[in-house]
Every structure is written in C-alpha cells, then in structure tokens.
Chain A
C-alpha cells in the first residue's frame, strides 16, 4: 500500500523480542475488547459503561475480588497445564477432563476416609488435605498420561484424544455424583456430597492456599524452560521432533512427560475449584460450566506465547474479565453466556494477531530500497 512517497509493506520477523511480544499481546486484548463492544451495542448497552462494570466488579469491588482471585488460581493452573505441552509443540485441550478427574480424585480420598458421614473423627486435615491434593494431581495425570502415551508411542493425534477424554470424564463425573453414584449428595440433588468443614482448604486472608501452588508452578516452569536440560529437550522437541530425535531426545518421553505433568496441574485445579474455593466445597451440579471455563487456559497460554511468567498477569486479567462479565450480564440484564462470548471473541482476536507475531508492518520510502527485499503480498 502506498501513502505518498512512502510504502507500507509486510516483513517477516526473524526474531521476536520480549517487549514486542508484550505489545502485540496487549494490542490483541484491546482489539478483542473493542470487537466485543459490538455485542454490547447489539444488546443496547453502552460498551464503556459495561466495561466499567466489568472491571470495577472484578478488580475493585470487595465481593468481586475474591471471586476473581479464585478464578485466577484456576485459570493459572489450567494455563500452565496448557503451556507445558505447547512448548513441546503439542496441544493439550483436555484441561477440562483433567480438571474433572482431579475433582474426582480429591473426592475419592474423602469418600475412602468416610467424608460422607456427618462429623467423622477420622478426617484429620493434616493428612486428608495433602492426600486430596495428591489424588487430584494423580487423577489429572492419569487422564493426561493416556493422551501423552498414545502420542508418544503411537503418534495418535493428541487434539482428538484429549477432547474425547474431556467427554469421557464428563460422563464419569455424572456417573459418580448422579442417580445413586457413590459421591452422590445424600439429599439427592444431583451434586456430590459436601466437604466436611474440618477439611476445608486453609485460607490465608480469605484466599485458598492453592494460590501459592499456582504461582509456584508458574515460576518453576519458567525455571524449567530457562535453565534445565529437560526444559531444553522439551523446547527442542517442540521446534522439530525429528531433529530432537537425532540429538538423542526420546520421542516417547517428551510427549508423555509433558502430558503427565500438564494433566497433574489441571487436576490440582479440580481440587482447587471444588474443595478450596469458599462457598463451593462440593462438585457442583453444573460442573460442566466450570469445566468449559478451562478453555480460557488455551487463550491465556497462547497470548502469553508459552511463557509461564507472562501467564500470571494474563490469567489474572482473564479471571477478572470472566467474573466481571458474569456480573455485568446480570446487572445489565443481558443474556446468559457473556463470559463465554468474551472467551470466543478473545480467541478469534488472538488468531488474527498470530499474524503479527510472524510479520511486521514496515513504513519505508519508496525507490530507495531494492524491490526484491522483504516479503510483499
């Protein structure tokens, strides 16, 4: 495109600096929010007012902030579960299933120790809570391991497999909590039995301790990628599995490992949401809704370009947006599903901006440069 004696053209990026990534990601989010105002306008709502409601509820309001933080912990766990395989070039879209499996694992521990009985003295929190966490991680890891094993050993498409596992675990949860399943609420309300108050997750200033797990994992993953051999092997595999194999990196171990650990991380988010968030403390009847929110992890992971530290602010922002969106929808009398619509628009904006991660727009004087330099379209 020509403007006067200048020409706008596209150039392929050879390198991408950290600050450039940050700017592009930031612009992508702004673009999505602008695009999303169409939805507010169509619903007859002033977008500025709507965004004011969303942000003030999520980040200022004293009722909203705890919700945002709990959602943030959940999203950060799902994001790290997505990032780890992503760096190996693999797509884990099974956070939903791993999340369900984690919840089932945690409740299986309770069930085994008689948590269904009223005031059971066997429930010693110092033992039960760590066991629940381990079981949740184990549950998620098992689901992840299936996908990782099939990918590593037989090269089965991990996208389809993780998605199938999402549906399988969805129905497994239904089996466990509904119609006489072992975890059914004695009141028969199609939800699981409630967590006994003695084993509620410890709160630190009203925030579940799981926040430290989530933040710690993000930092550890950053360290893993930056400093360790296994992190290097994962990245090498992600760039080129064939080249990695010639360099002696096991083409079975990498996919298997990233999916097992990723699954465990998403599994812990199942413990977090159903056993640590104040006011929930059971596998809710509408667990499917919570599970589908795990897909926000995909967007967080992609926007932060697979960087676990960058995922922290992104997950916080998206946690707030999804909480604020749900609030604004009620306050402004909008239809259900505003937070899901926002999820969709953010995702598609991100796809558009993938382009800018690969190309940059350059303003150049015409005639001074040779015409065969750079890529033009």
Chain B
C-alpha cells in the first residue's frame, strides 16, 4: 500500500511541476496550450542525454534547458511577434509531438539505469515539488515581483504606465514556466516511467493545462488538484486496487479524462464563476501591443 501511495505522489509531482510552469506563464497573461509538447521535448531529450552519458543530473539539466528554450520561443511568438497565443501554443505542441517522435525513436526502450534513490521513502521530487509550490505561492502573493507579474497579467497597459516592463516580465515568466514543464517531462521519462516509446505522454500535459484552470491560478490549490489527479491516474492504471473486476482496464484509462471534463464543466457553471470567476488573469491570452 505504501508503495502505491509513493507512486501516486510521484505521479502528482509531474502534474505539479508542469502545471506550476503553466500557472507562472498564465499569471503574467500568457497562455501556453503546448504544455504537452514542452514536456515531450524535456522528457525525450532528457532521456536521450541520460541514456547516452549515463548521468541523471545532465539529463534533468537538458530537460530543463530545452523547456526554457521552448518557453522562450513561445514568448517570442506570442509577445514579440504578437501571434495568437493559442496558435503558437498549438505549434509548440505539434512541434514537440512530431520532432520527438523522430528524435526519440532510435532510443525506444527502457532507460537501463539504476533508479533514482528514494529519500525518506518518497521520491526526492516530492520534496522539491512541495518547496516549489511554497516558493511560488510566496513570490506571487507576497513579493513585489509577484505583484508585478500579477499586474502584468491583469492589465498590461496600466502596468506599463506605472513603469513596469510588460515584455520583460512576461518573458521571464514564460521562460521559467517552460523550464518547469521541461523538468516535469524529464521526471516522467527518467523517474516515473523510464521507458521511451511513441507518444508516451498520452495527455499528461493537457491535464496539467486543465489543472491550472482548476486551481483558480493559486499554487496551493494547484497542489491539491495535482495530488487528486496523480492518485486518479495511478488508480486508473491499477483498478484492481479499488474495484477489482468492474470494467476493463481500457475503460479505466478513460476515467481521468472524464473527470477532467467534469471538473472543467463544474468550474464553468454560473454558480461557480459568480463566486470565484475573478481569479482568472484578466489579460490572459491577449497579446499586448505597446501603443
């Protein structure tokens, strides 16, 4: 049982890292629907690096670096060029899906390295994840830099007039956000499931994207949502733990996706929006053009 709990927490942390990255960008007003693409890139390149050099650390660093690079690219498209953020995010996702299929294919198969040792019975990323949630919560809600990010996400023209550099702030946020998504991907392919095969993520990135909407853009609620979905995902892989013999294993795999739709639906009801709808960054998804 403990093993199962540890596994759930491990899965939750992948959602946490990816969704925190998305949250950071969204708080500054930049929507990146290409989380899955960034994760695929971080996972694939991290996997290849670790497999060829035999070093985990290098693998994670490469994963983070490629994530940051893709975040920067998304920033360039959506901030500097002013391309529709959904189009750019879709581009990042399809680029990630397409290129990693080609790049990763010769490395199909298990990683073949000793597993990363646990720390106090849990994956070390659990502690990093919790710390990161705390740090991000603190930065966003208690520091002047956080205020800067939030005001850029709420009303960029007012922020600009009050002397904030909208472009720079958004660039910082999307780059940091991208590196977190890349890191999440690397955790998946180096620790959670160290096997490379075709399109292996199967929706983690899109669930992370939904989790950000679900979290009301609050890192602490986001952690709760990630724990819920990490557990759900793990249960959908091992349905025999809860309801042995009920529904086939394929049907179980659809459960997290149905619940994601259900949660989004719940959040879109009038009842919910009237109470908590204001949490959404006002300028989310809108390119900012300096007049």
Q: Of residues A154, A174, A337, A343, which shows the largest number of chain B Cβ atoms within 10 Å of its Cβ?
A: A337
Cβ A341 vs Cβ B102 within 8 A:
yes
Counting CB contacts under 8 A, is A29 at the interface?
A: no
Q: Which residues of the partner chain A approach B99 to less than 8 Å between Cβ atoms?
A: 340-341, 344-345
Given A160-B206, A355-B81; A39-B95 close (CB under 8 Å): no
Contact count A vs B, C-beta below 8 Å: 143
CA distance A337 to B264 in the complex (A): 34
Contact of B95 among A288, A289, A345 (CB under 8 A): A345
Contact of A338 among B94, B102, B213, B250 (CB under 8 A): B102
Counting CB contacts under 8 A, is A302 at the interface?
A: yes
Cβ A343 vs Cβ B98 within 8 A:
yes
Minimal Cβ-Cβ distance residue in A for B90:
A298
Cβ A179 vs Cβ B248 within 8 A:
yes
Please give the distance in Å from A301's CB to the nearest CB on chain B.
Answer: 11
Minimal Cβ-Cβ distance residue in B for A354:
B83
Cβ A351 vs Cβ B88 within 8 A:
yes
Q: Which residues of the partner chain A approach B210 to less than 8 Å between Cβ atoms?
A: 157, 160, 164
Enumerate A284-302 residues with CB–CB distance to B below 8 Å.
288-289, 292, 295, 298-299, 302
CA distance A298 to B106 in the complex (A): 27
Counting CB contacts under 8 A, is A65 at the interface?
A: no
Counting CB contacts under 8 A, is B257 at the interface?
A: yes
Q: Which residues of the partner chain B approach A156 to less than 8 Å between Cβ atoms?
A: 261, 264-265, 268
A interface residues, how many (CB within 8 angstroms): 49
Residues 30-43 of chain B: 1 if any A CB is under 8 Å from the residue's CB, otherwise 0? Answer: 00010000000000
CA distance A172 to B268 in the complex (A): 27
CA distance A245 to B198 in the complex (A): 44
Counting CB contacts under 8 A, is A240 at the interface?
A: no
Minimal Cβ-Cβ distance residue in B for A161:
B261
CA distance A160 to B256 in the complex (A): 13
Q: Which residues of the partner chain B approach A355 to less than 8 Å between Cβ atoms?
A: 81-83
Cβ B90 vs Cβ A164 within 8 A:
no
Minimal Cβ-Cβ distance residue in A for B108:
A336
Enumerate B64-103 residues with CB–CB distance to A below 8 Å.
77, 81-84, 86-88, 90-92, 94-99, 101-103
Please give the distance in Å from A327's CB to the nearest CB on chain B.
Answer: 15
Enumerate A164-207 residues with CB–CB distance to B below 8 Å.
164-165, 167-168, 170-172, 174-175, 178-179
Counting CB contacts under 8 A, is B253 at the interface?
A: yes
Counting CB contacts under 8 A, is A111 at the interface?
A: no
Cβ B264 vs Cβ A160 within 8 A:
yes
CA distance A157 to B94 in the complex (A): 19
Q: Of residues A164, A179, A335, which shows the largest number of chain B Cβ atoms within 10 Å of its Cβ?
A: A164
Cβ B98 vs Cβ A345 within 8 A:
yes
Counting CB contacts under 8 A, is B274 at the interface?
A: no
CA distance A344 to B213 in the complex (A): 27
Please give the distance in Å from A217's CB to the nearest CB on chain B.
Answer: 23
Cβ A154 vs Cβ B91 within 8 A:
no
CA distance A171 to B253 in the complex (A): 7
Given A340-B97, A344-B99, A345-B95; A351-B87 close (CB under 8 Å): yes
Q: Which residues of the partner chain A approach B91 to less than 8 Å between Cβ atoms?
A: 347-348, 350-351
Minimal Cβ-Cβ distance residue in B for A159:
B33
Enumerate A76-125 residues with CB–CB distance to B below 8 Å.
91, 93
Cβ A160 vs Cβ B260 within 8 A:
yes
Cβ A340 vs Cβ B265 within 8 A:
no
Q: Which residues of the partner chain B approach A354 to less than 8 Å between Cβ atoms?
A: 77, 81, 83-84, 87-88
What are 10 pairs between A and B in contact, CB < 8 Å?
A155-B268, A156-B261, A161-B261, A163-B206, A164-B206, A165-B261, A167-B253, A167-B254, A179-B248, A347-B94
